[in-house]
């Protein structure tokens, strides 16, 4: 692998890297089949050469759907150790990626700690960090300042970086002309837009894309092409601004691949349920099958407090239709910084969406655990049921809180002695069935 620059470069040279070997095994896939997908850009293995404790995962629509959890130090939660605890609990709950969106203080020590201790893929959004790193107003930063932050994150061992390369000065005109209801809701996208508006210059991530490709190639950092124009409400879904940016992301995908740099493409956003599958098809076609990383999509605008559910509905349909990677959404979305319980609920909702999609897509082995759960339910074996559950702790707590009153504790308090499972087990075994 050392003679190769990136996982894509190795795959194109016919080399099976140790990371690819691990991912193929996890995915129950032939190494050669996965190698071909990585070589074509249809699957990525985000593995920075400096992230030495990484347990690698692949991202691609033919692989298990992966989920990402956003965390990081902020003005309200400054304690590195508290945030690290959240990271490790997210990893234990099954998150395959952590995006460090730290936005306060000296962000570098936390990022470096994350790379040293966290075994899952780590992503960042360098434009957030630029203002914090330089401690200067946005309009005083030069294009090269942004590029240097990308370099610093790459050196620190970050596996993927979100770069909002797709909005250009033309986008400024589009946003003004098309009068979207929610304008730009991407935090990174709005910063790039604001910088371009204040300085009159072109998007630095677009203008210096070749230089950024050199950095990403050197460290094997996967570029996650950010969707600055992702719709922030149903009314803006699939509009000119979103599609125009997507076309540019397709062009940039091609340029990155020519450099052997791995690419994911980020996607919507708020999208009506009937447009979700079409959005996935359009992305696959324009971005030539590069893995699609979606936030949600949220299928209604009116459920603050429950947006982990609106996102899971959209995420399941998106992943079933080709999205490879789901960014979790918590109940606190649109309202506040998520607390530990919000993070937990967001992860569970995303895991359900990803798993449901994997079953629908026929991912090898995906349904095995559901079949195991059905066997455990038929046997009224509660311990075995908890072992199969996505959130065993919660399942156990609910049952224990409301156990049946009588001694038929093999049933639950939902139906008690009217338990259909118990009645059928007894009837088929020729036993007497006592109901009263
Ligand atoms: S009591 Fe009702 S809900 Fe509970 S296990 Fe039996 S059939 Fe299922």
Report residue 19 CA to chain centroid gap: 20
Long-range contact list for 249-252, CB < 8 A, 24+ apart?
249/165, 249/166, 249/225, 249/286, 249/287, 250/286, 250/287, 250/288, 252/165, 252/166, 252/206, 252/209, 252/225
What would the pLDDT profile of 171-198 be if each residue is shown by its tens digit? 888 888 888 999 999 999 999 999 999 9
Q: Ligand 1 mean position to 338 CA, how many Å?
A: 34
For 208-224, what is the mean pLDDT? 98
CB atoms within 10 A of CB 49: 17
Atom from ligand 1 closest to the CA of residue 418: 1
In this structure, what token pair is assigned to residue 384? Answer: 């075995």
* Range with the largest mean pLDDT of 75-89, 152-166, 332-346: 152-166
376 lines ligand 1 (CB under 6 A): no
What would the pLDDT profile of 234-279 be if each residue is shown by its tens digit? 999 999 999 999 999 999 999 999 999 999 999 999 999 999 999 9
Residue 324 has pLDDT above 80, yes or no: yes
Q: Please, are residues 102 and 140 in contact by the beta-carbon 8 Å criterion? A: no
421 lines ligand 1 (CB under 6 A): yes
* pLDDT the model gives residue 2: 52
- Vertex 119: Cα angle to 260 and 222 (nearest 5): 20
* pLDDT the model gives residue 408: 55
What would the pLDDT profile of 4-28 be if each residue is shown by its tens digit? 899 999 999 999 999 999 999 999 9
Q: Ligand 1 mean position to 407 CA, how many Å?
A: 15
Atom from ligand 1 closest to the CA of residue 422: 6
* pLDDT the model gives residue 81: 84
Rounded Cα gap, residues 198 and 262, in angstroms: 32
What would the pLDDT profile of 84-128 be if each residue is shown by its tens digit? 888 999 999 999 999 999 988 889 999 999 999 999 999 999 999
Helical axes 340-361 vs 307-320, angle rounded to 10°: 20
H/E element, 276 = helix 273-286
For 353-392, give the DSSP string: HHHHHHHHHT-TTTTHHHHHHHHHHHTT-HHHHHHH-SSH
22 lines ligand 1 (CB under 6 A): no
* pLDDT the model gives residue 294: 98
What would the pLDDT profile of 205-215 be if each residue is shown by its tens digit? 999 999 999 99
For 158-179, what is the mean pLDDT? 92
| Ligand 1 pocket test, candidate residues 419, 422, 426, 435, most atoms within 8 A of CB | 419
419 lines ligand 1 (CB under 6 A): yes
Strands 66-71 and 325-327: parallel
71 lines ligand 1 (CB under 6 A): no
Q: Please, are residues 32 and 58 in contact by the beta-carbon 8 Å criterion? A: no
Q: Ligand 1 mean position to 211 CA, how many Å?
A: 61
Atom from ligand 1 closest to the CA of residue 380: 5
Single out the residue of 195, 29, 213 nearest to residue 127, CA to CA: 195
414 lines ligand 1 (CB under 6 A): yes
411 lines ligand 1 (CB under 6 A): yes
Indicate the pLDDT class of residue 217, thresholds 50, 70 and 90: very high
The residue whose CA is least distant from atom 6 of ligand 1 is 419
| Ligand 1 pocket test, candidate residues 421, 422, 424, most atoms within 8 A of CB | 421
* pLDDT the model gives residue 278: 98
Any idea which fold 44-361 has?
Answer: TIM Barrel (3.20.20)
Q: Ligand 1 mean position to 303 CA, how many Å?
A: 31
Residue 155 has pLDDT above 70, yes or no: yes
Q: Ligand 1 mean position to 349 CA, how many Å?
A: 24
Q: Ligand 1 mean position to 428 CA, how many Å?
A: 17
In this structure, what token pair is assigned to residue 182? Answer: 């929610």
Q: Ligand 1 mean position to 105 CA, how many Å?
A: 52
Residue 407 has pLDDT above 70, yes or no: no
413 lines ligand 1 (CB under 6 A): no
Q: Which stretch of 32-41, 234-243, 268-277, 403-412 has the lowest confidence by average pLDDT?
A: 403-412
Percent of the chain clearing pLDDT 70 (strictly above):
99
CB atoms within 10 A of CB 427: 11
The residue whose CA is least distant from atom 3 of ligand 1 is 414
In this structure, what token pair is assigned to residue 58? Answer: 């692949």
* pLDDT the model gives residue 20: 98
Percent of the chain clearing pLDDT 90 (strictly above):
88
DSSP letter for 298, please.
B
Domain ranges of the chain: 44-361, 368-428
- The whole-chain average pLDDT of the chain stands at 95
Q: Ligand 1 mean position to 416 CA, how many Å?
A: 7
């Amino acid at each position: 692998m050392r003679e190769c620059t990136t996982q894509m470069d190795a795959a194109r040279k016919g080399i099976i890297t140790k990371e690819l070997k691990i991912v193929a095994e996890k995915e129950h896939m032939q190494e050669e089949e996965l190698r071909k997908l990585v070589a074509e850009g249809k699957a990525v293995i985000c593995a920075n050469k400096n992230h030495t404790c990484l347990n690698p995962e692949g991202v691609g629509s033919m692989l298990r759907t992966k989920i990402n959890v956003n965390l990081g130090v902020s003005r309200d939660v400054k304690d590195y150790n508290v945030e690290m605890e959240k990271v490790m609990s997210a990893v234990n709950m099954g998150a395959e990626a952590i995006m460090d969106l730290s936005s306060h203080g000296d962000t570098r020590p936390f990022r470096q700690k994350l790379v040293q201790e966290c075994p899952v893929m780590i992503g960042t959004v360098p434009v957030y960090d630029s203002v914090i790193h330089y401690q200067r107003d946005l309009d005083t930063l030069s294009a090269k300042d942004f590029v240097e932050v990308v370099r610093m994150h790459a050196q620190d061992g970050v596996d993927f970086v979100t770069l909002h390369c797709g909005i250009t000065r033309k986008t400024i005109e589009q946003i003004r002309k098309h009068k979207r209801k929610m304008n730009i809701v991407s935090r990174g996208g709005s910063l790039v837009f604001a910088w371009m508006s204040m300085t009159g210059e072109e998007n630095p991530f677009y203008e210096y894309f070749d230089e950024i490709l050199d950095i990403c190639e050197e460290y094997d950092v996967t570029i996650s092409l950010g969707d600055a124009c992702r719709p922030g409400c149903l009314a803006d879904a699939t509009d000119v601004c979103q599609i125009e940016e997507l076309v540019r992301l397709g062009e940039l995908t091609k340029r990155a691949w020519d450099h052997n740099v791995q690419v994911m493409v980020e996607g919507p956003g708020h999208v009506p349920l009937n447009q979700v599958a079409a959005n996935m098809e359009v992305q696959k076609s324009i971005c030539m099958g590069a893995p699609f990383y979606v936030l949600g999509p949220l299928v209604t605008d009116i459920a603050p407090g429950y947006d982990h559910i609106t996102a899971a509905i959209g995420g399941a349909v998106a992943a079933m239709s080709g999205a490879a990677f789901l960014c979790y959404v918590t109940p606190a979305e649109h309202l506040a910084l998520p607390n530990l319980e919000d993070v937990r609920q967001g992860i569970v909702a995303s895991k359900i969406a990803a798993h449901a999609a994997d079953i629908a897509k026929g991912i090898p082995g995906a349904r095995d655990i559901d079949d195991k759960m059905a066997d455990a339910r038929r046997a009224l074996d509660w311990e075995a049921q908890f072992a199969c559950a996505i959130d065993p702790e919660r399942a156990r707590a609910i049952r224990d809180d409301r156990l049946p009153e009588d001694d038929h504790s093999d049933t639950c308090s939902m139906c008690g002695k009217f338990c259909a499972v118990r009645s059928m087990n007894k009837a088929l075994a020729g036993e007497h069935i006592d109901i009263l």
